[in-house]
């Protein structure tokens, strides 16, 4: 009986790979492309090959993941495509399974109130309500505020992007737990990741205790998982500053995401000057 399992698994994964490849090869709907160009300025930074790859990921993402509107929000292609394109930015160049832990994507019209349960270092548990812009659940949904999705996408230099933040948590969870240590393909990467991100996390804690201004959002000091999500936002949206002020952190994120946003920003500036 066990001998029959592996062929079935290979067939399952093989058929899924072929189906995804067919989805990536479909012509991309022009109305969807217009949404991306209008709502996601970062798309303009990408070279043609990356744009093509991103659009293929979007086709797969929209085919495999369910969107739900909450709080009276009616789901539209604009909402779905805007969120999917930003989430798929994190997948470029990576050998990935397109967010296998992800449940549905739940979207509120604006910030929302959620019940919050937090365990303090002394073991005490605080239960209450908290205003949120987004959240990510392990083996569950991603919840987003549509107003904040649009605002985060519109300014590609402020270091705040709720979609990048919450989907970084989804990548983090692929290793089995959200602890700021996503799955890394090579053992040699694990030690460097732990050393660099552990050091940078402690540095952020120290800077905040001393009331210094920090490049990374102070929310990243909450725990290592939030640090990784905040660092991901900065990597894509404050790339040159992160590279210059935190070069080792930038290099680790560059290796993980297989992208170099700072180089794209600098190349785009040159192209703008030449045009």
d(CA 10, CA 150): 40
- For the chain, the domain total comes to 2
Residue 254 lies in a domain: yes
User: Residues 190-200: pLDDT tens digits?
Assistant: 999 999 999 99
Strand pairing category for 125-132 and 112-119: antiparallel
- Are 158 and 194 within one domain? no
Tokens of 112: 């929302």
Residue 184 lies in a domain: yes
- Are 162 and 267 within one domain? no
- Are 53 and 141 within one domain? yes
Count Cβ atoms below 10 Å from residue 122 Cβ, excluding itself.
5
What phi, psi does 126 have (nearest 5°)? Answer: -105, 125
pLDDT, residue 111, reads 65
Contact in structure between 134 and 168 (CB atoms under 8 Å): no
- Are 44 and 145 within one domain? yes
Assign residue 144 the CATH number of its domain. 1.10.472.150
Assign residue 256 the CATH number of its domain. 3.40.390.10
User: Residues 209-227: pLDDT tens digits?
Assistant: 999 999 999 999 999 999 9
Give the structural domain span for 155: 16-107+134-174
Residue 123 lies in a domain: no
User: Residues 94-137: pLDDT tens digits?
Assistant: 887 789 889 899 999 986 667 666 665 655 555 555 666 667 77
Boundary of a domain, candidates 144, 159, 174: 174
Residue 9 lies in a domain: no
Where b means 16+ CB within 10 Å and e means fewer, 43-60 reads: bebbeeebbebbbbbbbb
Query: Quick one: average pLDDT of 173-196?
Result: 87
Question: Please, which residues have CB within 8 angstroms of residue 251's CB and are 6 or more apart in sequence?
Answer: 196
- Are 92 and 51 within one domain? yes
User: Residues 79-94: pLDDT tens digits?
Assistant: 999 999 999 999 999 8
């Amino acid at each position: 009986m066990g001998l029959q399992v592996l062929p079935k698994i290979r067939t399952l994964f093989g058929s899924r790979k072929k189906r995804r490849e067919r989805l990536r090869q479909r012509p991309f709907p022009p109305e969807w492309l217009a949404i991306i160009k209008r709502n996601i300025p970062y798309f303009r930074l990408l070279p043609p090959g990356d744009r093509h790859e991103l659009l293929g990921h979007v086709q797969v993402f929209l085919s495999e993941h369910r969107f739900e509107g909450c709080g009276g929000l009616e789901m539209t292609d604009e909402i779905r495509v805007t969120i999917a394109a930003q989430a798929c930015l994190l997948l470029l160049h990576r050998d990935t399974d397109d967010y296998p832990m992800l449940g549905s994507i739940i979207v509120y019209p604006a910030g929302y109130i959620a019940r919050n349960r937090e365990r303090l270092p002394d073991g005490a548990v605080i239960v209450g309500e908290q205003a949120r812009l987004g959240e990510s659940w392990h083996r569950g949904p991603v919840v987003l505020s549509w107003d904040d999705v649009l605002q985060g996408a519109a300014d590609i230099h402020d270091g705040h992007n709720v979609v990048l933040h919450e989907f970084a948590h989804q990548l983090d969870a692929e290793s089995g737990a959200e602890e700021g240590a996503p799955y890394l393909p090579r053992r040699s990467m694990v030690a460097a990741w732990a050393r660099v991100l552990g050091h940078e996390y402690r540095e952020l804690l120290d800077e905040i205790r001393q009331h210094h201004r920090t490049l990374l959002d102070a929310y990243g000091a909450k725990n290592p998982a939030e640090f990784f999500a905040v660092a991901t936002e900065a990597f894509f949206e404050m790339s040159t500053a992160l590279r210059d002020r935190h070069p080792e952190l930038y290099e680790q994120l560059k290796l993980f995401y297989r992208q170099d946003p700072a180089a794209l920003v600098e190349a785009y500036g040159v192209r703008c000057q030449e045009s």
